[in-house]
Amino acid sequence: MSASTYASVLGLTAAVVLLCAVVTLWRRTLRAIIRVLAVQGLALACVAMVVGLRRHDTGLIVVAVLVLAAKAIVVPMLITRVVRHDPASRETQPLVNVPASLVAAGALTILAFAVTRSVTALVPTPAGRLIPLGLAAMLVGFFALVTRRKAVSQIVGILLVDNGVALVAFLATAGVPLIVELGASLDVLLAVVVLQVLAARLRSLLGSFDLDRLTELHD
Amino acid sequence: MTAASLVVSGAVLGLTAGVGGATLPRRSRVAVGAVLVWGACALEAVAAIHVLVSGHRVVLHSAELLPFTGVNLVLTPLGAFFVLLVAMVAVPATLHGIGYAHHGLDSRMAAFAVPIFVTVLLLVPAAGSVATFMVLWELMALTSLSLVLVDHGRREATRSAGTWYAVITHIGAAAILTAFLILAAHSGGQSFAALRLHARHLAPVVRALVFVLALVGFGSKAGVVPFHVWLPKAHPEAPSPVSALMSGAMVALGVYGIILVGDVILGGGSLWWWLVVLALGAVSALFGSLHAASSTDMKRLLAYSTTDNVGLALIGLGASGLFDATRHPQLAALGLVAALVLLLNHAAFKGALFLSAGSVQSATGTRDLDQLGGLLRRMPQTGALFLGAAAAICALPPLNGFIGEWLLFQSLLHGADIGNTAGEIAIPLAVAAMALTAGLTVVAFVKAAGIGFLGRPRSEGADAAVEVPGTMRLAVGLLVGVCVVLGVVPTLVLPAVERAVRAVLPRVAPLSLAHGVDLQLVGLRGVLEPAALAAAMAGALFGLGALRRALARRPAPRVAEAWGCGRQLQTARMQYTATSFAEPVQRVFDDVLRPVQDLDVSHVAESRYFIEAVTFHNAVDDGIERGLYRPVIGAVRRWGQVARQLQPGSVHRYLAYGLGALVIVLTALTVIR
Amino acid sequence: MNAGSHTVVAVIASCSQVVAVAVGGLVLIGLMRKVRAHLEGRVGAPILQPMFDVRKLFRKERLRPDQATWIFPLAPVVLVATVAVAAAITPLVTTGPALSTGSDFFALVYLLLVGSTLLALAGMDAGTAFGGMGSSRAVTIGALAEPALLVTILALSATAHSSNLPAIVRATLADPGSVATPQRLFALGALLVVIVAESGRLPVDNPATHLELTMVHEAMILEYAGPDLAFVTVGEAMRLTLLLGVFVNLVAPWGIATTTNVAAVAVGLVTLVAKVAVVGLALAVFEVFTAKLRLFRLPELLAGAFVLALLGVVSGLVVK
Amino acid sequence: MSAQNLWRSLWRVRRVTEALAPDADATAGPEELIGSLQLRHVDAGSCNGCELEIASAFGPVYDAERFGARLVASPRHADGLLVTGPVTRNMAVPLVKTLEATPHPRIVIAVGDCACDCGVFRGGYGVVGSVGDVVPVDASIPGCPPDPTAIIDALRGITRR
């Protein structure tokens, strides 16, 4: 794999990760959002794989496979199980309307670019230069976490943040140590399961995933 | 006859015009005043052209004319450019004023103030010292204020507009004066040359303070957000020729002031100054165009679009400063050229638009778009000229607005990778702001032209409208002609603009934008062939027109009733109004505009299924006025109430105050001793 | 070859571009309708049907609404004229058509704006309810599309350091890798959305709607008949084809004539037709699967395009 | 219904349009309209039976569009009117106005018995008369409601396809 193709493939996959994060703000139907999430997991796995192959780092390649399994297949399946009970579930009324969220995503991307200027100077590798995209994906995920109402979109938000962090990790150093990444992934998996249970309970209690209705629970 | 004497005699002629206007009988005073003003404009313009061609500044000092300081006039190439800009607006405006006279311009007061106003506008860019500048600046404010108030007897709105304008312009003047005093305190003399000499050695903090003060002061005159609130009040209330002068020329002088202090005296400065200017420009452009797109009063719309155009010019100026601070002199020059060209274009088309708005007002008696319509059939020439000016401000090729926006876009485009993070972030956002502004401007002026001049008349006034006198049409025609010329062969003026720019940024290599009739950015890759483009468009237009005549079997069109879905009757009330035209934009930008709407439906007594009347009211007021100024005004008023407690009106109480004050002073003296 | 023959070939190329856009535009519309018909299980009208329609419209009577002014007959001619000029100077078949030194992306955009603005005015000229509605919606959509469009141009001009279209195309030819950069791909995605919005296709506007209240573009031209309508139809078809042509030459410029000889121009013509046909087919298939968006959902789409363009610029700064 | 399902169903039902016999009788229309006929449909007071048949005539099964006929939104864009139903008092003026708004050369096609001779509504108090009583009719399609093939035959007679 020549240096230029490596750089461009890496750039494209990293860009896809960010793009997916933005698209989740745009789409309303939860199924579509979950599909986008799966695509993002796939892209993330690709990044890890490409970096791993480039650096002949078997650990990273293993991580890539695990990421593929966890983030592109298992987690989306789990969330789909949650959504299956009301297939038409949509993120109808986000706290910030969609055009504003999209513009905010653009602003966050610019912010990420601005703050990581010094970092990228330290890591002048083709991978290092892409760190802003990872940070941007993380920020956008955080934004989704803040502004979306449905429990499922909250899960998605957390996963977006995690994917962003993972992307930064893959790009910044020679990949995170295998065990750390495993830990993180399992961590998130646990969070997903917990939230799935929570969502199920919510539905049985309130008949919807709408987190705003949690306020009805106090007293 | 030397250039200096040209300047002097021009000024004298202008002042004579004022005196003549005040003394002559009502019938002739406006016309005579106008003719004398043209003489003044011609003389000053010749002097300015001399300066721009030769590149030598004209210096003029007379110690006795003004007590203590003397008058100090220095006509630099930059100033000369603005003199020409003022003259370009002033001549048509005064010509239009002859036909417009019966709307208050023929009062002794106005006939005196207009020539003085024009003369002062011509002299401000030539002021060479703080004292001269401030005197002229204040004269400009006073004359324009008195002209805004021409109609104060009849309309309450005029009085409030006058108050707003007076307060804001004097706050601005105070800021400017403070800035100049700080500079003068640190330098020997009070001439701009001396200021410039010593400004180099000031502490950065002081320089920044001076710049910010100047930005506030001149920004308030230029109608930059958040100091723009007086424009949408004063411009509609002033007589249209005055609005044209204020919007076309006076506002441009505000930007001149920013260039004077920021670039000429302080000689550039740190990056953040210009980022601030860029941000102010972007915000003004967006805010102005958004309100222009949603307002339904024709002159209010034009006033907001003034804020928007000044914003675009400030984007160019800010970009220029940005590039200068990051050591890209070529780009800096390009940005400044863009800013100046934008101002020149704005003077041309906005002058034309305000003047034709005046023609419409005098023909129909209203400026409310919702009351107009069908004017193109009734006032064919005025309508056509308005459409031309509207096309120019929408930046449609081959008119001048397009050239300005192209230059601005090119300067931003080539500055997109200047290797400075702040700049690299600011530039795409500036491009986005410029683009949205351009789009909203199209909305605003398609609305103004379409609702105002096309379709069916929405009121008796509009229905009864007849074409205005020839002088008024000629006045607008002159400015629209300028728009066309500047659009097709901008290379006529670009060398002069570059001369002005190089006087400001001395270390710039010659740009030589003008390549025959083409625009070419030397060292950068960007070419525009406006003349060829215009020729191609004209050719295609005529060719296709002929083609249509040739292909059509039945060339003569049959006049048929407009298709209204077979409705039995078709009235003007079924058309879209300005309000409904702006509704989509208003709805998309709901969070910014915060329109106040109320809809009430009254049913007939017998059954709720039959509606008697539906009334809908929609008002978009200025968010910044609501959020920023009203609270301040409220607080001031409350303090005023408190102060009134001291004024019961009894003479003894007042004498007691006097005694008390005396006692306090005496005791204080004793204590101190 | 001497300069004279250069200009001759350039003029020939320009003419071929105009003709290709004018004729090809109508065929493209017919083709897209045919594809739609096939996917709906119909036979559909012949591919040349739009041409028959236009021919018939030229033989029909001209109508002028009683309130209309000179704007009304002028607008269709201006529309076609501006698109024709744009088609003549844009690098579609060759990188060196006539006046190509001044064929600036920014100028192209504003040239097309002339036609749409005049059409918006003409919509209000007759003084009917629907005309104003269409004009209002059209200019609003145009305004919202503008930021995405100009920022896209900013992103696309980065490689060539110029917004001159032939320069951009040549730079792409010189460095094929630049197409595969995220910067370029984001920008092209945004450009595609803007093209769909500007040319009134689904999901922004339904060109086949019969319900006035859902119309955007159709409502503006509701008053046109006969030759004037023919001009509007041709102009809109040309605009779509021109924009798609620019798009394909930014995605895959290969095949475009870089030298000024007639053979290269011919090859360029063939490849252009092929590329535009492919994109047109894809667009038609996409339209079968999409419904028209509500007017007030459009800001989401166009804001998305804007953010896409912005991501393009930023990722360009990152990867640079 | 998601995109995949749509694809699948599209793939399953390839083409539903029925082939029709080559048109025999070419009723004379204006020669300008050969090969291209845009129609504006006017419901002058129909029971909507004819509307259903017109809809199916332009639907996938009969697909009148393949013969160059198309329904348009404005009479300005149209070459003729497709009028259904007896002309009621409310619709008489609009019908005339619609015809006036149609550029020459133009035709009027009366669809259904009601349009031809008021059908069962003959003499009804709300009925002005048949379409022919209000505007000149060029072609009539009898039937209550007429079969889509009948409508298509009439259209083919004009487009000569």
Q: Residue C88: list chain B partners with CB under 8 A.
A: 536
Average pLDDT (D23-45) is 82
pLDDT of residue C231: 94
Q: Is residue B408 part of a domain?
A: yes
Of residues D30 and B78, more confidence is placed in B78
Number of folded domains in chain D?
A: 1
The model's confidence at residue A156, banded by pLDDT at 50, 70 and 90, is confident
Q: Residue A32: list chain C partners with CB under 8 A.
A: none
Determine, for residues D63 and C46 on separate chains, whether the beta-carbon distance falls below 8 Å: no
Nearest-CA distance from B572 to chain D in Å? 19
Question: How far is Cα C253 from Cα C267, in angstroms, rounded to an integer?
Answer: 12
The model's confidence at residue D1, banded by pLDDT at 50, 70 and 90, is very low
Q: Does any CB of chain C come closer than 8 Å to the CB of residue D101?
A: yes
Which chains reach chain B with 3 or more Cβ–Cβ distances below 8 angstroms? A, C, D
Q: Which residue of C has its CA nearest to B449?
A: C121
Q: At what angle do helices B470-488 and B530-551 cross, to 10 degrees?
A: 110
**Assigned token pair, A145:** 């976490």
Q: Which residue of C has its CA nearest to A5?
A: C177
Same structural domain for residues B378 and B507? Answer: yes
Name residue B554's amino acid: R
Smallest Cβ–Cβ distance between B527 and the set C64, C73, C101 belongs to C101
Residue to test with chain B: of A96, A110, A119, most B Cβ within 10 A: A110
Determine, for residues B528 and C107 on separate chains, whether the beta-carbon distance falls below 8 Å: yes
Question: How far is Cα B439 from Cα B458, in angstroms, rounded to an integer?
Answer: 27
Determine, for residues B425 and A117 on separate chains, whether the beta-carbon distance falls below 8 Å: no
Q: Is residue D14 part of a domain?
A: no
| Weakest-pLDDT range from A77-91, C32-46, C97-111 | A77-91
SS3 D155: helix
Question: In whole angstroms, how far apart are CA B417 and each of B335, B435, B505?
Answer: 15, 19, 22
Determine, for residues C89 and B376 on separate chains, whether the beta-carbon distance falls below 8 Å: no
Residues 61-80 of D with CB under 8 A from B: 74-76
What CATH number is associated with residue D114? 3.40.50.12280
Q: Is the peptide bond before D145 cis (omega within 30 degrees of 0)?
A: yes
Size of interface C-D (CB pairs under 8 A): 83
Q: Residue A106: list chain C partners with CB under 8 A.
A: 306-307, 310-311
SS3 B576: coil
Same structural domain for residues B348 and B479? Answer: yes
Q: Residue C63: list chain D partners with CB under 8 A.
A: 76, 101, 103
Smallest Cβ–Cβ distance between B561 and the set D74, D100, D104 belongs to D100
- The end-to-end CA distance of chain A, in Å, is 63
The model's confidence at residue D23, banded by pLDDT at 50, 70 and 90, is low
Determine, for residues B421 and A117 on separate chains, whether the beta-carbon distance falls below 8 Å: yes
Determine, for residues C145 and B396 on separate chains, whether the beta-carbon distance falls below 8 Å: no
Q: Does any CB of chain A come closer than 8 Å to the CB of residue C315?
A: yes
Q: Residue A110: list chain B partners with CB under 8 A.
A: 425, 429
Model confidence at A183: pLDDT above 70? no
Same structural domain for residues B482 and B398? Answer: yes
In this structure, the strands spanning D107-111 and B527-528 are unpaired
Q: Which residue has the tokens 């530039």?
A: B427
Please list the residues that pair with C42 across neighbouring strands: none
Question: Do residues B499 and B119 make contact, with C-beta atoms less than 8 angstroms apart?
Answer: no
Number of folded domains in chain A?
A: 1
Q: Which domain holds residue B634?
A: 623-672
Q: Is residue B614 part of a domain?
A: no
Smallest Cβ–Cβ distance between C150 and the set B391, B431, B543 belongs to B431
Q: Which of B510, B533, B548 is the last residue before a domain boundary?
A: B548
Nearest-CA distance from C126 to chain B in Å? 5
Q: Which domain holds residue D141?
A: 31-159
pLDDT of residue A75: 81
Question: Do residues C123 and B562 make contact, with C-beta atoms less than 8 angstroms apart?
Answer: no
Determine, for residues C132 and B526 on separate chains, whether the beta-carbon distance falls below 8 Å: no
The model's confidence at residue D52, banded by pLDDT at 50, 70 and 90, is very high
Q: Is residue D59 part of a domain?
A: yes
Smallest Cβ–Cβ distance between C42 and the set D60, D103, D105 belongs to D60
> Long-range pairs for B60-66 at CB < 8 Å and ≥24 separation?
B60/B4, B60/B7, B60/B8, B60/B128, B61/B128, B66/B131, B66/B132, B66/B135
Residue B321 neighbours by CB under 8 Å, 6+ apart: B262, B263, B268, B269, B273, B274, B277, B332, B335
CA B15 to the chain's CA centroid:
24
Please list the residues that pair with D48 across neighbouring strands: none
Determine, for residues D73 and C61 on separate chains, whether the beta-carbon distance falls below 8 Å: no
Q: Is residue D57 part of a domain?
A: yes
Model confidence at A207: pLDDT above 70? no
The model's confidence at residue C233, banded by pLDDT at 50, 70 and 90, is very high
pLDDT of residue A158: 81
Size of interface A-C (CB pairs under 8 A): 65
Average pLDDT (A81-104) is 76
Q: Which of B503, B533, B548 is the last residue before a domain boundary?
A: B548
Q: Is residue D20 part of a domain?
A: no
Determine, for residues B566 and D76 on separate chains, whether the beta-carbon distance falls below 8 Å: no
Smallest Cβ–Cβ distance between C182 and the set A15, A99, A105 belongs to A15
Question: Do residues B83 and B48 make contact, with C-beta atoms less than 8 angstroms apart?
Answer: yes
The model's confidence at residue C1, banded by pLDDT at 50, 70 and 90, is very low
Determine, for residues B424 and C77 on separate chains, whether the beta-carbon distance falls below 8 Å: no
Residue to test with chain C: of A29, A102, A168, most C Cβ within 10 A: A102
Q: Residue D76: list chain B partners with CB under 8 A.
A: 563
Same structural domain for residues B410 and B538? Answer: yes
Q: Is residue D151 part of a domain?
A: yes
Residue to test with chain C: of D1, D65, D152, most C Cβ within 10 A: D65
Q: Which of B548, B582, B601 is the last residue before a domain boundary?
A: B548
Determine, for residues B574 and C102 on separate chains, whether the beta-carbon distance falls below 8 Å: no
Nearest-CA distance from C45 to chain A in Å? 36
ipTM: 0.91
Q: Residue D103: list chain C partners with CB under 8 A.
A: 60-63, 225-226
Question: In whole angstroms, how far apart are CA B514 and each of A218, B55, B537, B538, C303?
Answer: 74, 18, 21, 23, 38
Kindly provide the b/e burial profile for residues C138-165, where b requires at least 16 CB atoms within 10 angstroms of the residue's own CB. bbbbbbbbbbbbbbbbbbbbbbbbbbbb
Number of folded domains in chain B?
A: 2
Question: Do residues C41 and D66 make contact, with C-beta atoms less than 8 angstroms apart?
Answer: no
Question: In whole angstroms, how far apart are CA B453 and each of B237, B395, B626, C68, C70?
Answer: 22, 20, 32, 11, 12
Name residue C303's amino acid: A
Model confidence at C57: pLDDT above 60? yes
Block means of pLDDT (10 residues each) for chain B, 673 residues, are 82 87 84 91 92 86 75 90 95 92 83 92 92 92 91 80 91 94 86 87 90 94 90 90 93 95 88 93 95 92 95 95 89 92 96 94 90 92 95 93 93 85 89 95 96 92 90 94 93 89 81 73 78 91 90 79 81 88 90 86 85 86 86 90 79 84 89 78
**Assigned token pair, B368:** 């409310």
Model confidence at C305: pLDDT above 60? yes
Please list the residues that pair with D69 across neighbouring strands: D37
Nearest-CA distance from A143 to chain B in Å? 20
Q: Which domain holds residue A39?
A: 3-217
Smallest Cβ–Cβ distance between B562 and the set C67, C140, C296 belongs to C67
Q: Is residue D146 part of a domain?
A: yes
pLDDT of residue A206: 60
